[in-house]
Amino acid sequence: MSLDRHFVTAVERSTITSQYPRTVGRNARLGSHGSGGDAEIVILRTDTGKAGWGLVAGALPAEDQVVGRSVLDLIDPATGVRDEALVGLDFALHDLVGQIEDQPVYAILGARGQRTISCYDGAIYFADLDPDDDPRGVPAVLADCAADDAAGYRAFKLKIGRGNRWMERAAGDARDIEVTRAVREAYPDHRILVDANDGYDCDGFIAYLEAVADVGLYWVEEPFLDDAADLARLRAHLSDTGSTTLIAEGESNPELDTLLKITGNGDIDVLLMDVVSFGLTSWRAVMPKVAELGAHASPHAWGLPLKTLYAAQLAAGLGRVNTVEGVPGQTVGADTSAYLWRDGELTVPDRPGFGIPLEELTGR
C-alpha cells in the first residue's frame, strides 16, 4: 500500500530513559554527564494501524499540522521530511515509512554502506579528577577502559583538555599526555581517538601531538575553536610528520558552509554533525557533497545509546562512514536486541524501520 493511503491519526509524546553502566564525568568544557536520563520521543499512528516512533529531532509541529495528512504529504522517501516545520518528526517519520513499506531505514536511505560498522567507545571522560576531595588519578581512566573493553569495545575515544577548566594549564596538558600514553600501553592493539572539546589552542595542541606522536592516534576531534588558519596549520603539522591521524570537526554549533569550505581545502577529514539535532534529512542532503570533497562522516551520537543505533543505520544507508560513536548503556522500554554487537562492531538488523520495538507500541 503506498504512503499516500496512510493518514496520520495521532501524534503522541512520551519520554524514554537511558542508563549508562557508570557515572560519566567531566570533559574539557562541562561538568559531570551523570548516569543517564530521559529524552523526549514522538509516536505517529495512522488510520491503517501502522505506527512509527523516534527521538524528537527539533521543534515539533502543532498536532493539527500533522493529523489528517497522508504520510506521503509529510515525507519524501527519497529525500526526507518535506518541510522545515516537520524536522522534529524526522526519525519518527523515517521509522513509519519503514514500517509501512516493510523496509529497514538503511534501505530507505539507499543501502550504500555496510550493515556492520566499527563502533568506538565514547564514554572515556575525566574519571581521574573525581571525586573532588580524593581524585582517583589515571588508574580510574584505565578502569573505565577495562570495563568497556570487557563489554566488547576495541576502540577508545579519550577526552582531553583538562587544562582548559579543571587543572592548571601545564598540569592539565601533562595529564592528557599521561592518560593517552597509559591507555596505549594498556591496549597496544586498540584504536585510540582523542576529543579535546575545543579545550586547546593550536600551539598547545601541536605540543600535545608531539608528545604522543608514537601512540598512533586514529583521529583528533575538535582540538580548538574552529578556525580555518589553525586547522590548516594542524594539517600541515600532521603532513610534515608523516602522520595518518585524521581531523574530525563539526559537532559543536556547526556552520555548515564554513565547514565544507575547510573540508574542501583538505583540512577536515571527518564531519561530525549530530545525528539527531542535525537530522537524517539534513545528512541525506549533505552527504553527496561530503563524498564529492573526498571526506567522510561520523555523526556525533553522545548522550543516548539510541543515537548510536541511528548513526549505524545512517552509516549503512548513506555510506561514507567508517566508524560510529558508541554510547555504552541501555534504553529502558525499547528492545534493541536485534542490533548485533560483537568485538567492536555493530550490525544493523534487516527489520522494518529502525528495528527497535517500543514497549508502548508492542504492549497495546
Q: Check pLDDT > 50 for residue 363.
A: no
Q: How high is the pLDDT of residue 364?
A: 34
Grid cell digits, residue 59? 521543534
Segment 264-293 shows an average pLDDT of 98
- Is residue 27 a contact partner of residue 18, using CB atoms and an 8 Å limit? no
Give the model confidence (pLDDT) of 97-146 as tens digits: 999 999 999 999 999 999 999 999 999 999 999 999 999 999 999 999 99
Average pLDDT over residues 256-281: 97
Q: And the C-alpha cell for 219?
A: 583521529
- The predicted model gives 251-274 an average pLDDT of 94
The strand pair at 296-297 and 191-195 is best described as unpaired
Give the pLDDT of residue 252. 77
**Residue 295: its pLDDT value, please?**
98
Taking CA atoms, 302 is separated from 85, 188, 274, 309, 325, in Å, by: 25, 25, 8, 11, 7
Tell me the sheet residues that pair with 108: none
Q: What is the pLDDT of residue 359?
A: 83
Q: Quick check: 162 pLDDT over 70?
A: yes
pLDDT for 362 beyond 60: no
**For 174-228, what is each residue's pLDDT tens digit?**
999 999 999 999 999 999 999 999 999 999 999 999 999 999 999 999 999 989 9
- Over range 71-76, report the average pLDDT: 98
Task: Let me know: does 297 contact 287? Beta carbons within 8 Å.
Answer: yes
The answer to whether residue 361 scores a pLDDT higher than 80 is: no
Mean local confidence (pLDDT), 240-254:
93
* Confidence at residue 309, expressed as pLDDT on a 0 to 100 scale: 98
What rounded mean pLDDT belongs to the chain?
A: 96
> Which grid coordinates belong to 319?
555510506
Residue 38, pLDDT score:
96
For residue 235, the tally of other CB atoms under 10 A from its CB is 18
Answer whether residue 272 shows pLDDT above 50.
Answer: yes
Question: Quick one: which of 351, 344, 352, 350 has its CA closest to 328?
Answer: 344
Question: Which helix (H) or strand (E) is 234 found in, with range?
Answer: helix 228-240
State the Cα–Cα distance between residues 234 and 228, nearest whole angstrom.
Answer: 10
- Taking the C-alpha atoms of residue 265 and residue 234, their distance in angstroms, rounded to an integer, is 13
DSSP 5: G
Reported in sequence order, the residue ranges of the chain that DSSP labels E, i.e. its strands, are: 8-24, 34-46, 51-55, 75-76, 80-81, 116-124, 155-159, 191-195, 219-221, 246-249, 270-271, 296-297, 323-326, 330-332, 340-342, 345-347
Distance CA 133, CA 161 (A): 21
Look at residue 1 in the predicted model and tell me its pLDDT.
52
Helix axes 90-101, 280-292, angle to 10 degrees: 90
Phi-psi region of 111 (alpha: psi -120 to 50; beta: other; left: phi over 0): left
Name every residue whose Cβ is closer than 8 Å to that of residue 32 and which is 6 or more positions away in sequence. Answer: 23, 24, 25, 26, 130
Q: Coil, helix or strand for 281? A: helix
Which pLDDT score is estimated for 205?
Answer: 98
